[in-house]
Amino acid sequence: MASPVSPQNLHAQQAERYIQLFNNSGVGIFIVDKERLIVEANAAFCKIFGYAHEEIIHQSALSLHLSYAAYVNFAEIAFNKVRQNEALNLKYRFKHKDGHVLWLRIAGDSIPSNEEVLWTITDITSTVEAQEKLKNSEELLRNAEAISHLGSWEIDLATQALTWSDEMYRIYGESRETFTPTLEFFDRYLDDEDAKRVRILNQQAIFSGKTEKIDYIIRRKNGDNVFISTQRKALYGDDGRPLKLVGTSLDVTQLKENERRIHHLNKELHEEVKRQLNTLREKDKQLQFQSRLAQMGEMLSMIAHQWRQPLSAISATTGFLSMKLLLEEFEAKVFTQEIQHIEEYASHLSQTIDDFRNFFNPIRHKEEVSLEAVVEKTLTIIQPILDAQGICVHTSFSSQEAFLSCKNELGQVLLNLIKNAQDAFEETLSLRPTLHLITCKDTHFLYLIVKDNAGGIPEAIKTKIFDAYFSTKFDKGGTGVGLSMSKTIVEEHCQGELLVENDDEGAIFTIKIPRKDN
């Protein structure tokens, strides 16, 4: 028979058990006195806070708190209440030895005999941080949905329960507090055709396993129409059976409205462009007509100069023959010679008309021509006027190379440049007006240079003279078409360039034409 255990031994055994339980518990345990000094702590406590046992014993609990304010606050909400024998179990933030934050579940119990408090702690930092991350993720998702107007939803295929995100309630104009979404109620937002399309697509998504898309219009209870673009996909269990249908719904009402406005604005813009083009065409017709009238006036003036001398000669010859008849000094040989002269003068007049008609022929076709030939043909038209105004013309030819171009158009460009120089001479009242017509070439280009001594083009307008409808001679019937059209002819019809610059004497216009081999 075993001998009975003495009270002393029993007490010792119990004490040993308590020590073993204290030291080996997976829960952190520590004891503080009424001054909140740590008088005992187990291994789990030391591991949670990162201290060695000797580092923390007899130290103030202040070292466990994030700040002195947190230390004082804990006394008010926990320490003092436990000392008054109130049960306590709360979640609170503490500080690890290395400074990082610890979230602990802490419970306390009073030890009245020693005026001490025994605390038990459990580290819940990872749980709290995971909950915080989840909370932040959910908040981020809610904000993202609100910003993008993209709601999410899911249908439990077993229960047919429908779950909406917060944004779905906004899209459908409902409140989470007063409305519970159901598949049956969902159909009320759609017309019959769209409701049928949605049901078919849901089944298609379940069987296909693919993301299925559909657009439709819902009508909110306040009567507003909302354009919705949705996607849905089925989720399956391990056995391959469909569990849920998840999807997103995007409010594209504003996008549709913007598309409608853009379409309307494009239509209005198209109509306005048509109106403006028609207006410009009318202005072009008027300007072209005015330009044609001006050209006709110039052409008639040039014809008059060409005809003045032969007409005077014809008049003088007929006067001479009339006088001979009156004096009855008729000589057949003399009459025959004079009549022959009249025929020559008439032939010259006819040839002049042909030259002008060919020069201003609107039919455009390319042919082999040289810059020198263009200059000579143009001078036959304008030379009498230049002579009459005392304008001296010097030519210097060193190109002498044929190229393919519209001869008449190029001649009209040169005529326009000469006429501009003629007008400049009139405006500046040049004492010795001189015009230089020069041809030359380099490796890649042929050049026709028209140079005058009329003072040059003012710098303020030099960059504008090739602009359509720009003219310094509107008060004299100018249309602003000449130089603009000349530049178009040279650059688009002849694939060249028309350039302008000034020197000390006047303006220099250069027609630059690519050589045939370039």
> Which tens digit of pLDDT belongs to each residue from 110-138?
887 778 888 888 898 888 887 777 666 66
Supply 415's token pair.
């005529």
Residue 305 lies in a domain: yes
In a domain, 5, yes or no: no
Q: Are 227 and 253 in contact (CB under 8 A)?
A: yes
> Residue 341: is its pLDDT beyond 60?
yes
Q: Are 190 and 198 in contact (CB under 8 A)?
A: yes
Q: Which pLDDT does position 512 carry in this prediction?
A: 93
Residue type, 56: I
pLDDT (0 to 100) of residue 472? 57
Mean pLDDT of 28-50: 91
Residues 231-235, mean pLDDT to the nearest whole number: 90
Q: Are residues 199 and 187 in the same domain?
A: yes
Residue 184, domain extent: 142-251
Mark whether 113 and 152 lie in a shared domain: no
Please write down the long-range contacts of 334-343, taking CB distance under 8 Å and 24 or more positions apart: 341/313, 341/317, 342/314, 342/317, 342/318
Residues 368 and 346 in one domain: no
Rounded mean pLDDT, 246-252: 87
Give the integer Cα–Cα distance in Å for 421 and 435. 8
Query: Is 261 among the domain residues?
Result: no
Domain end point (choices 123, 152, 173):
123
Give the pLDDT band (50/70/90) at residue 392.
Answer: very high
The answer, yes or no, to whether residue 230 has pLDDT greater than 70, is yes
Do 234 and 298 lie in one domain? The reply is no
Are 372 and 504 found together in one domain? yes
Is the model's pLDDT at 2 over the cut of 50?
no
Q: Is residue 304 domain-shared with residue 353, that is, in the same domain?
A: yes
Q: How confident is the model at residue 415 (pLDDT cuts 50, 70, 90)?
A: confident
Which residue among 76, 95, 123 closes a domain? Answer: 123
Number of domains into which the chain is organized: 4
287 and 424 part of one domain: no
Note whether 245 and 200 are same-domain residues: yes
Q: Do residues 240 and 151 share a domain?
A: yes
Q: Model confidence at 109, in pLDDT bands (50, 70, 90)?
A: confident
pLDDT level of residue 283 (50, 70, 90 thresholds)? confident
Domain boundary among 360, 385, 406: 360
Q: Sheet containing 225-236: which strands, arranged edge to edge?
A: 161-164, 150-156, 242-251, 225-236, 212-219
φ, ψ for residue 213, nearest 5 deg: -120, 150
| Domain-embedded: residue 226 | yes
Mean pLDDT of 43-60: 91
Task: For residues 386 and 476, state if they share a domain.
Answer: yes
pLDDT value for 474:
43
Residue 4 within any structural domain of the chain? no
For residues 55, 61, 67, 72, the Cα torsion angle rounded to the nearest 10 degrees is -170
Domain CATH for 427: 3.30.565.10
| Structure confidence at residue 69 (pLDDT) | 92
Q: Are residues 202 and 243 in the same domain?
A: yes
Residue 306 has pLDDT above 90, yes or no: no
Spatial separation of the C-alpha atoms in residues 311 and 300, rounded to whole Å: 15
Domain-located, residue 266: no
- Say what percent of the chain tops pLDDT 70: 81
Determine the pLDDT at residue 166.
Answer: 85
Q: According to the model, what pLDDT value does residue 475 have?
A: 45
In a domain, 308, yes or no: yes
How many helices (DSSP H) and strands (DSSP E) are in the chain? 15, 17
In a domain, 134, yes or no: no
Identify whether residues 113 and 187 lie together within a single domain: no
* Residue 1 clears pLDDT 50, i.e. is over it: no
- CA torsion sign for 351, 365, 280, 482 is negative
Give per-residue pLDDT as tens, 464-497.
888 765 665 544 444 334 687 788 888 888 888 9
Percent of the chain residues past pLDDT 90, beyond the cut: 19
Report the CATH number that the domain containing residue 349 is assigned in CATH: 1.10.287
CATH of the domain at 152: 3.30.450.20
Given this model, what pLDDT does residue 23 score? 63
